[in-house]
Structure 1
């Protein structure tokens, strides 16, 4: 990848360039700007379970019929001011989650995962013209979380005494194209959350989502503008960045109130 001269550095003293430090490096990921994407809303998708206890009861019923539940979620990344942002759903102004869901028992892993992404984010009606069903580029599996029992606790490893975990959740990197139309159910919000907001923020986002910056640290990023021209690379420009509400939440999208 060609070196891009940073435009924000004003020091007259040139930096000392160390020897190459990219051995065994994962592929460099090209990120497109948030402004390249179009966001809309679609019909409400009510939550299946009215409470945590009901959700765990449904997990137990699933396990009795079909065995371990398989869940897939997508880490969708774009950039704003040359800093990675994660597209994330917010439910009831409190609960955050990644797009995706549990697979149906008969589903293949990737095909079923794409179908669940469509349910959450695929556009409908005129806004979706030209979009193909399941048109998602699923990349690396970045994490596996295991639920040993019918309870809320999940771990990034399978405990050694557990031979029959009740659920395995995988998190996949989703390569976003240069432009795409996305629609969120109107009872949810679609947010663009900067990595630094997630990092070490277990209190707000929980252990799984707050670990995403660690999961993405294996990659270098190349940031491109709306015309597809590379304008920066890791590290970013360090400008003032905030979370953005992109769509949904039964609210009108207005300029100047943090929405896009």
Structure 2
């Protein structure tokens, strides 16, 4: 998009000089394809909780990193969200390995979930700032944007990072997942559909001003 121009649309009209400006590109700038499905863990909820307890005993706090990736559609910012088995939604990302940094872990997960192969050297991802952290006080699915007062030690932490897209990119997604572009206005406070973490993304983005790059 060498001839791209910045749209006059500015969704967050901040006057502060501390405002972060993010360029976002139209959805049509990107190619979407599929690759071999990622194997699922065949386990019950009880099995999952027991696995988490075992991992916690061995490694301590479980930390996951997830990507906030934005595109433009119909003059409105849209969030890229994975839909798994047509049943639930999640942000691209996953659990860190022991001793792995946030940035390295998120790049590894994005290569695995959204790139042609997980060893692609020409498919770098630009990881931006951490937008927020969510905490789970127990081995359950409920997360909070703070550590509850009755919690002595959180069991899981999920960190959300802004990921900046270039003017073009290929997204190659496992066949058992769908990558959807969902408008921020639909996500906001829609905990029932998207869960608390995804539903909280629009508020995390309130300090960011979006500039749409038009082709």
TM-score, normalised on structure 1?
A: 0.74
Are residues 1:58 and 2:51 paired?
Answer: yes
Q: 1:168 and 1:4, CA in 2 relative to 1: closer, same or farther beyond 3 A?
A: closer
Q: Taking CA–CA contacts closer than 8 Å with sequence separation of 6 or more, which of the two structures ends up with the larger relative contact order?
A: 2
- CA distance, structure 1, for counterparts of residue 66 and residue 14 of structure 2: 32
Where does residue 241 of structure 1 map in the other structure? none
Q: Deviations over 1:197-245 (max 9, x none)?
A: 101211111111111111112111110123xxxxxxxxxxxxxxxxxxx
Structure showing the higher strand proportion among its residues: 2
5+ residue gaps, structure 2, are none
TM-score, normalised on structure 2?
A: 0.88
Report if the CA contact (8 A) 1:115-1:134 is conserved.
no
Where does residue 158 of structure 2 map in the other structure? 169
CA RMSD for the aligned pairs?
2.3
Where does residue 28 of structure 2 map in the other structure? 35
Report if the CA contact (8 A) 2:137-2:147 is conserved.
yes
Structure 1 residues 148-187: aligned runs within 5 Å: 148-187=137-176
* 190-199 vs 154-163, which moves further: 154-163
DSSP 3-state at the match of 1:38: strand
Q: 1:160 and 1:120, CA in 2 relative to 1: closer, same or farther beyond 3 A?
A: same
1:4: Cα distance to partner? Answer: 5.9
DSSP 3-state at the match of 1:182: strand
- CA distance, structure 1, for counterparts of residue 18 and residue 46 of structure 2: 43
Aligned equivalent of 1:75, options 68, 75, 96: 68
Are residues 1:113 and 2:82 paired?
Answer: no
- CA distance, structure 2, for counterparts of residue 169 and residue 5 of structure 1: 35
1:47: Cα distance to partner? Answer: 2.3
1:56: Cα distance to partner? Answer: 2.1
- CA distance, structure 1, for counterparts of residue 163 and residue 191 of structure 2: 23
Q: Number of residue pairs matched?
A: 208
- CA distance, structure 1, for counterparts of residue 6 and residue 47 of structure 2: 53
Larger Cα Rg: Structure 1 or Structure 2? Answer: 1
Aligned equivalent of 2:193, options 196, 201, 204: 204
- CA distance, structure 1, for counterparts of residue 102 and residue 6 of structure 2: 38
Q: 1:138 and 1:21, CA in 2 relative to 1: closer, same or farther beyond 3 A?
A: closer
5+ residue gaps, structure 1, are 7-19, 227-260
Report if the CA contact (8 A) 1:114-1:134 is conserved.
no
- CA distance, structure 2, for counterparts of residue 28 and residue 179 of structure 1: 19
Q: 1:122 and 1:48, CA in 2 relative to 1: closer, same or farther beyond 3 A?
A: same
- CA distance, structure 1, for counterparts of residue 145 and residue 210 of structure 2: 25
Structure 1 residues 249-260: aligned runs within 5 Å: none
DSSP 3-state at the match of 2:180: strand
